[in-house]
Structure 1
Amino acid sequence: MPDSFYFPVYTGLLTPKHRERIGPAIWEFLWLVSKVTKEVQEEGETLGIVLGGRPVKLAEIAAELGGSERTVKRNIARLKDEGYIETVRAPYGEIYKVRKSKKFIHKNRSAKNGTSFDEREDKNGLSHDERSAKNGTSEHREVPYLSERSATSGTSNKDIKDIKNITDRKIDDDIREAHMSDRSKRAIANKYIQRRGKGLSLSPKDEEAIEGLLREPIPLDDILSLIDEVFDEYQPKFNGDGINSFEYVRKVVLSKYHEQKGESTDGGTVHKHRRGVSRPSAEGGKTYEQILREAEAARRAWGWKG
């Protein structure tokens, strides 16, 4: 279970309108609010970026909330339909944004207006005087500055600033990496759909195979050109026969790439022979012909269903 920590939630949610719209999805909504790490302005609206823009899988949310992925998926869809969140599909989950985020609004407003800690409202919407009256105190509580506390904690203002800069750079790098990976997946999917020549959608197994290929150290341009080779060299066995599974494409692309590089997966050299003689491939010492036979079996298994 993750460590507990404080995060603000506004009482504006506690209305019949929001209760009806959010319903049982309140737990997923609170989870997303708690994971907002920064806020950005897009088209005049404040969006809370969840976990710095890192793709999040439904299984991760379900594991922390203790529910099923099916329930989480249904509740996330409800939050999207009702306009509480936005999501962007990524290869390893979805990137979440909380609309009209107010998690850091007081911090931002205070910096803009030049107000002090005692002058601004706290994160529950109370001013200092209101908070004092509620807690039964009338005098301002003395709060030592961070630099004074650092004498005992060993952390200075400069340390905090350096840590924040490093964290922000890491978050930005993660976002760029996720976007690049997403673009690569779309490019491969579009190439496959174009060459397949039928249908505009992918099956879950096709998507898994694409993600598996992306995990290989093969440049995107090489993958796209090798996909063309796979389709150009494929010989239909009967009228209407074709490539209907990206798993077939993945296996042949891997085999072709390592054969062209003249290397096996363990760094050894692949010795090329005359056509018709078994050639070692990149996958566990199997021959090139064995790879093609396995790929053909995968194509038949997934391509002829239904």
Structure 2
Amino acid sequence: MSTGWIKLHRKIFDHEIWNDVTTFRLFTLLLLKASHQDGIKINGIELKKGQYIRSYSKLCEDLGYKERRALKKVSKSTILRSIKKLVENGMVTVCETDIGTLFTIVKYESYQGLDGQNNSNYRTANEPSTERLQNDYGTIAEPKQELKNSRIKEFKEEEEERSPVENHLTPSQQIEDKYLSRRGGGLMISPNDASAIDRIIQEQIPLEDIMVWIDEIFDQYRPRHRADGIKSFSYLEKGILDRWHAKNNQPSNISEFKPKKQQDNLSALEAYAKEKGIKFGGGLA
């Protein structure tokens, strides 16, 4: 949507997200797309003022950028980190739904209130309401099941979409991103999860093995019901340690060489002398 306007305070220059291009663009996008009134319904979910629903894969497309002549998408892990930063700074709250993530701009009314003016001026007055909804909410026409399936697919595509900036992440950050993307819910890990990740790193297990085994554990997990899932990194910690132990203690195909017990030289001479009728020590027997 290219009509209407929002208010953006100049104090944004002093905020840490000003120097974080993706996070700043994401926050601006959420401000521009957020509902300007209560009561708008998207697939049974009623939005309040300052709320917006969008899937992570759509946000990757929304924040795409041109590099020379190529159009590049922002990776999902980058989106997740930016959302986490906005949540930690108290700028937005998030809630996962069946049709995407529900974003709520904190203090939206305080920032975007029009000082008594009619909010109908906030957007183009003659823009049809139906068209406005279609423009604002790209997920509205997507079937629920298709969205659920796409959420699973997008997490598996994350590794292929990594941006060059992500190469500078610490091992713990990379493990955290991998875990959050495969878990498929929430933007932050618990203190217990962080401790489990630190313990894994202290084992000096190669990062490549850890990342592969995280995928392997999630892929092999069989939920008992729709609410079942891997909710703690401690579960992954045990699986990773089991695989690390097995890798370093593989049975050898080469049997241990055990030399035959050799007879004492003196005993061998004595036996030979007895056999030949020779008195041991000289003379005939």
TM over 0.5: no
TM-score, normalised with respect to structure 2: 0.34
TM-score, normalised with respect to structure 1: 0.33
Larger radius of gyration: 2
Higher relative contact order (CA 8 A, sep 6+): 2
